[in-house]
Amino acid sequence: MSSSRPPKLTRAKSSRSRRKPGKNLWVWFLAGSLIAVISAFTLIYAYYSARAGLIDIDVIKEMPKASILYDYQGRPFSRFFDENRIPLPKGQPVPKLLGQAVIDTEDRRFYSHGAIDVYGIGRAALSNLTGHGSRQGGSTITQQLGRNSIGQLQRTYDRKMLEIFLASRIERAYTKDDILRYYLDRIYFGQGLYGAETTANAFFGIPASKLNLAQCALLAGMISSPNSSSPWKDIKAARAARDRTLVKMVRAGDITQAEADKAQKAPLALRPRPNFGGGFATSEVRRQLEDMLDPQTIQQGGLKIFTTIDARLQTVAENALATRISEIEASKGENHTNGFGDPNTGLPDEDVLQGAFFGIDPANGAIRAVVGSRDFSLSQYNRATQARRQIGSTIKPLIYATAFAEKNYCPASIIDATKFNMTAPGPIPSDAGEPQTLMRINDALVKSDDYSAERMGEIIGPDLLNIYAHRCGVTTDIPAFRSSYLGACNMSLNELTGIYATFADQGVTVRQHIVVQVLDDKDKVIYKYQGEAHRVFTPQVARQMTGCLQNVLDFGTGTPVRQQYKFTAAAAGKTGTTNDYKDAWFEGFTTHLVAGVWIGYDKPREIMPGGYAAAVALPVWANVMKQMQQGPGAYQMSDFPVPAGLETVTVGGDFFGHGERYFLTPGQKALLDQEPTRAPDEDTNDQSQPQGKNIIDRFMDMFH
């Protein structure tokens, strides 16, 4: 019996053996779970670290900026941009008051935490879960900078994770002050404004460094809801945003309650909303830049673009054109009570009377003003450079100048002005059965006689006319039809103005340009205009034609410039009216400014009954020139120089000494001894004035 063993001990051992596998299973499960969590974390960390590592970290400081346009006197007048942004000045610290306002509003522990603010995330989560207070995101300034820099604005967990890892890289690469600067440069303030410097200038007309407490609080308060709290959109919402920031600044201890109370009572004192980058001058600058610079350089912005534009002339021309068009419409009883667009589609009305103005300096081809429609907000289509219309009698000076240069004609030469059937096909008949009428070329141009112009066109021929047109900058051929000699050919306003600039510059054509120099954001010159000029006519031929065109203003179709608008400076010009009064043109110039005007409908139709150019387009030119003759930046308007080899001869003067001036060589003066048969006064396409030669005729001219 002593050798027997109690069975209880064996059963107990067996029981412990059976429980051991279960315990091991839990251990393995916990270990496996821990390994899975670590592995998942490692994979997530590796995945988002890799994605964040693929992003060029410099993207946070490389942001599109506004490019500033300077006029010909070096004064800023406009800007263009993909994002309207002017960065804070380099080399200067971030404005202290603005920095405090932004930090207290967006990330008050900015200088004490790393890429993320754990406390801030917890606070935001608690606020969002409990519903107490406004909804919060918990993103730090660094996180916001990262997501705004890469355009990741969607609300997803993937975006949030990438944002955190990118923020970590940013914190390692840049100082806190740098991060705050880039943030203030990049942040969107609504209404097309990017960056604190841009917004300070737009709202208050001062740099960000000059903002007071109330103004800083407004900008900081707008960041979370830039559009809805913009003072240009909702002044009450803007004040509320400002006041919320002031409360936070008091809590942070950056300002006292008394300072906050004073700031709350301060008026916002906003500037009127400026026109950022609008207008035809700005759009023409950008169009020409696209031929000079690569698209990425233009898109990135930050350029300083020095142009040829005269900002004052641009404004004067815009106003003069719009005013004259409105006057024409009023004379016909037209109004636009529902605006200029189609109320159903919102598209511009094609049946609205339109116009264009183009001004250049003849000496260097500098474009001083370009206006492509009556209102840029109504239509951005540039009719000064893009539209091609029939030019009417404005082609006649080119025809006669070509004859002077190639066929030995001059202003005193006599040409046949006998009537004939212009609509009949074939060559001009030598005997049309009409009484023969002869006149001097000067008189034919002053009266804008069609019969002599068409005959002279046949004498020089289309090939020769096209050679000289192309030398003056015309890019398309003038069709080889007789009607082309009366202006039934299409040109753009800037091309036509270039022809007249050739006369004004003593026979030299200079390539038109609007950009003089471009500097990048580091003030390095990346483009500089190189002048291109060539001679088309001799100085003598150019002066002879200029003299004829001076006589047009003094005694011909352009007399309203003198008699009605009292513009007395030395000038030359020509009217042009197409059939059925569909297009009205005026081209004129002084020694330092050449300008062309066109008025008409996009779908050609009669502008107004009896709508000659002298009544439709000429007033715009005359009003612009009168204003630019005086005041700041006035243009010199002295008489045109007379080149060697020419003598000034006055013809048909009365006892006041007023008469037409001819500029002739000594040999050509003999032509004045030949008296042509005078053409009877009659209506022509340009509503010509009678060509009087005595005091009675001069007096009667005042009533035509």
Contact 463, 484 (CB under 8 A): no
Rank 8-17, 113-122, 434-443 by mean pLDDT and report only the highest: 434-443
Whether this prediction's pTM lies above 0.85 is answered by: no
pLDDT at position 15 is 47
pLDDT at position 691 is 38
Confidence of residue 97 (pLDDT cuts 50, 70, 90): very high
Q: What is the pLDDT of residues 321-350, one digit of tens each?
A: 999 999 999 999 887 655 565 444 444 556
pLDDT at position 680 is 41
List of long-range contacts for 275-279, beta carbons under 8 Å, 24+ apart: 276/66, 276/79, 276/81, 276/84, 276/192, 276/202, 277/66, 277/78, 277/79, 277/80, 277/81, 277/84, 278/78, 278/376, 278/377, 279/78, 279/314, 279/318, 279/376
Burial class (CB in 10 A: 0-12, 13-18, 19+), 361: buried
pLDDT at position 172 is 83
- Tell me how far apart the alpha carbons of residues 383 and 372 are, in angstroms, rounded to a whole number: 5
Alpha carbon 432 to its chain's center:
53
* For residues 87-104, average pLDDT: 93
| SS3 letters across 529-582 | CCCCEEECCCHHHHHHHHHHHHHHHHHCCCCHHHHCCCCCCCCEEEEEECHHHC
Residue 154 in this model has a pLDDT that exceeds 70 = no
Residue 401 in this model has a pLDDT that exceeds 80 = yes
* For residues 217-233, average pLDDT: 91
Q: What domains are defined for the chain?
A: 31-60+93-186 (1.10.3810.10), 187-275 (1.10.3810.10), 353-538+579-630 (3.40.710.10)
Residue 316 in this model has a pLDDT that exceeds 90 = yes
Q: Give the DSSP per-residue string, 131-165.
A: T-SS------HHHHHHHHHHT--S--HHHHHHHHH
pLDDT at position 156 is 64
Residue 584 in this model has a pLDDT that exceeds 90 = yes
Residue 315 in this model has a pLDDT that exceeds 90 = yes
Question: What one-character DSSP code corresponds to residue 85?
Answer: B
Q: What is the pLDDT of residues 45-55, one digit of tens each?
A: 666 565 655 56
* For residues 336-365, average pLDDT: 74
pLDDT at position 45 is 60
Rank 15-24, 207-216, 264-273 by mean pLDDT and report only the highest: 207-216
Confidence of residue 480 (pLDDT cuts 50, 70, 90): very high
* For residues 663-667, average pLDDT: 96
Between 379 and 387, name the one with better pLDDT: 387
